[in-house]
């Protein structure tokens, strides 16, 4: 699949007419995977001719452990980790080894992972997004991306039809706003919570923009946020369900979320028979640098069995559970509350030298932050996290609340899927 065909198919295609069409498409893609990609991965080569049921079940921890032998570019885990960590610390987001970009993901599962992509893979992402969402190609489109670090790479995809501008979520939010008004994006891409804050800023006349297309990524968009955003900007909010493992779904022209079965094969690990709720096990049919095969995600999906009026037969989602974190507020240096994106917390965990398997950060008011760590070296991990948070607080001119570290994680039933939690006062 090349970026141009992806673009044309997404832009002008009608989607799959039937399950048969999806299966036919995926069978061809599996053949390509088995013939051309798996043999180049030392880890997966032995499975290239075995049935899918015999492929190993993958997850973030295993992917990390076997990174060196999974990727097809001959990059070692140590090499990749070193360059990714350095670039995160220096906030220089173009870490490359040859023409392969490497990044560190912290995602919603709490644990860090490495990912590597080549230019074609990054261009596929842009082709998919713009094919589906770009308002027009008669005028040059200006895209604002409010995303995490590694997405800086997308700025390099700009061309005569399109320009990308990147807004780092770990920098001070309010400092982005004048630049945003100046850029006047036609396409605005940001996590749901950030779109909510931008809608508020628009209403308070701190910004004045008129994007023709708004895309919510990375988190679940609540109906309340959706209404507020649509009211503030006077245009519909579309949603893309994506993670570092790929674009897993997007809303169609009828406004419903479909899984992206053109590029991702999805098996279900059913966890609740009554509702059919399942954790997806994904096989990405487009990746070549770092194959993502039978990879289990932590999200919980609930399908909508009704056929969609748009006519596309790809699976339709009713809900995505378990990817929302709260936004925290700390005191700013000027005394006013300052927003702390959950990414900042994730980042502090991800750049600890001792591996943190999971964590919870629960804030009480603006003055105390309780942090639970699951790690083999609690002392080292808590020191690292504390130092990282101090550095980040300093960088965004906020006062770090008092930190209380605890070992192990005690789950409260309604919080088990959120990692960053603001306790209501
Ligand atoms: Zn649809």
CA distances from 360 to 16, 226, 266 (A): 41, 27, 29
Give residue 128 CA to ligand 1 midpoint distance, Å: 16
Rounded Cα distance between 303 and 295, Å, is: 19
Sign of the CA dihedral 272, 273, 277, 283? positive
Domain range for 400:
328-423
| pLDDT band per the 50, 70, 90 thresholds, residue 30 | very high
DSSP letter assigned to residue 139: S
- Kindly report the CATH number assigned to the domain that includes residue 86: 3.40.50.12780
Give residue 94 CA to ligand 1 midpoint distance, Å: 36
Among residues 307, 324, 341, the one where a domain terminates is: 324
Domain count of the chain?
2
Among residues 260, 293, 324, the one where a domain terminates is: 324
Give residue 234 CA to ligand 1 midpoint distance, Å: 22
Rounded Cα distance between 99 and 242, Å, is: 23
Are residues 120 and 18 part of one domain?
yes
Task: Check residue 182 and give its pLDDT.
Answer: 96
Closest CA to 262 of 314, 297, 322: 314
pLDDT for residue 167 is more than 80: yes
Are residues 394 and 373 part of one domain?
yes
Please write the tens of the pLDDT for every residue from 95-149. 788 888 887 776 555 567 888 888 888 888 878 887 888 777 677 888 898 876 5
Give residue 15 CA to ligand 1 midpoint distance, Å: 9
Are residues 339 and 320 part of one domain?
no
Are residues 187 and 73 part of one domain?
yes
Give residue 256 CA to ligand 1 midpoint distance, Å: 5
Among residues 297, 324, 351, the one where a domain terminates is: 324
Please write the tens of the pLDDT for every residue from 211-243. 999 999 877 777 778 888 999 999 999 998 887
Give residue 314 CA to ligand 1 midpoint distance, Å: 8
Give residue 317 CA to ligand 1 midpoint distance, Å: 10
Rounded Cα distance between 1 and 120, Å, is: 9
Region 74-101 average pLDDT: 81
Give residue 241 CA to ligand 1 midpoint distance, Å: 14
Rounded Cα distance between 240 and 189, Å, is: 9
Task: Check residue 140 and give its pLDDT.
Answer: 81
- Kindly report the CATH number assigned to the domain that includes residue 403: 3.30.300
Are residues 195 and 158 part of one domain?
yes
Task: Check residue 212 and give its pLDDT.
Answer: 92
Are residues 108 and 251 part of one domain?
yes
Give residue 217 CA to ligand 1 midpoint distance, Å: 18
Give residue 101 CA to ligand 1 midpoint distance, Å: 33
Give residue 109 CA to ligand 1 midpoint distance, Å: 29
Are residues 383 and 279 part of one domain?
no
pLDDT for residue 37 is more than 90: yes
Are residues 247 and 353 part of one domain?
no
Give residue 312 CA to ligand 1 midpoint distance, Å: 6
Question: Any idea which of 15-19, 173-177, 321-325 has the lowest mean pLDDT?
Answer: 321-325
Please write the tens of the pLDDT for every residue from 244-264. 667 899 999 898 999 999 999
């Amino acid at each position: 699949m090349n970026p141009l065909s992806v673009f044309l198919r997404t832009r002008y295609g009608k989607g799959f007419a039937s399950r048969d069409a999806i299966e036919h498409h995926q069978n061809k893609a599996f053949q390509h995977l088995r013939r051309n990609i798996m043999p180049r991965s030392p880890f997966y080569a032995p499975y290239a001719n075995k049935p899918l049921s015999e492929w190993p079940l993958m997850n973030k921890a295993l992917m990390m452990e076997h990174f060196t032998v999974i990727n097809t570019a001959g990059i070692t885990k140590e090499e990749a980790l070193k360059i990714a960590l350095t670039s995160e610390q220096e906030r220089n987001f173009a870490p490359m080894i040859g023409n392969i970009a490497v990044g560190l993901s912290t995602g919603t599962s709490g644990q860090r992972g490495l990912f590597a992509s080549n230019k074609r893979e990054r261009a596929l992402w842009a082709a998919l997004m713009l094919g589906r969402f770009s308002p027009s190609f008669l005028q040059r489109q200006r895209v604002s991306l409010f995303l995490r670090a590694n997405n800086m790479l997308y700025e390099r995809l700009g061309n005569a039809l399109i320009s990308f501008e990147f807004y780092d979520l770990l920098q001070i939010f309010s400092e982005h706003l004048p630049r945003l008004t100046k850029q006047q994006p036609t396409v605005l891409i940001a996590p749901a919570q950030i779109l909510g804050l931008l809608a508020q800023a628009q209403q308070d006349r701190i910004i004045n923009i008129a994007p023709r297309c708004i895309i919510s990524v990375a988190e679940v968009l609540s109906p309340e946020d959706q209404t507020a955003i649509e009211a503030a900007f006077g245009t519909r909010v579309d949603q893309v369900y994506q993670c570092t493992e790929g674009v897993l779904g997007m809303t169609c022209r009828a406004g419903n979320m479909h899984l992206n079965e053109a590029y991702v094969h999805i098996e279900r690990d059913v966890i609740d028979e009554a509702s059919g709720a399942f954790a997806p096990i994904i096989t990405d049919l487009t990746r070549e640098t770092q194959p993502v095969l039978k990879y289990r995600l932590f999200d919980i999906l609930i399908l909508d069995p009704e056929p969609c009026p748009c006519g596309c037969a790809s699976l339709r989602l009713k809900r995505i559970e378990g990817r929302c974190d709260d936004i925290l507020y700390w005191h700013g240096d000027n005394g006013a509350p300052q927003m702390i994106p959950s990414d900042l917390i994730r980042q502090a965990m991800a750049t600890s030298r001792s591996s943190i398997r999971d964590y919870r950060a629960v804030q009480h008011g603006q003055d105390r932050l309780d942090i639970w760590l699951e790690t083999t070296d609690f002392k080292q991990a808590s020191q690292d996290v504390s130092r990282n948070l101090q550095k980040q607080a300093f960088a965004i001119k906020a006062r770090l609340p008092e930190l209380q570290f605890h070992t192990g994680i005690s789950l409260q039933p309604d919080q088990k899927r959120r990692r960053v939690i603001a306790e209501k006062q």
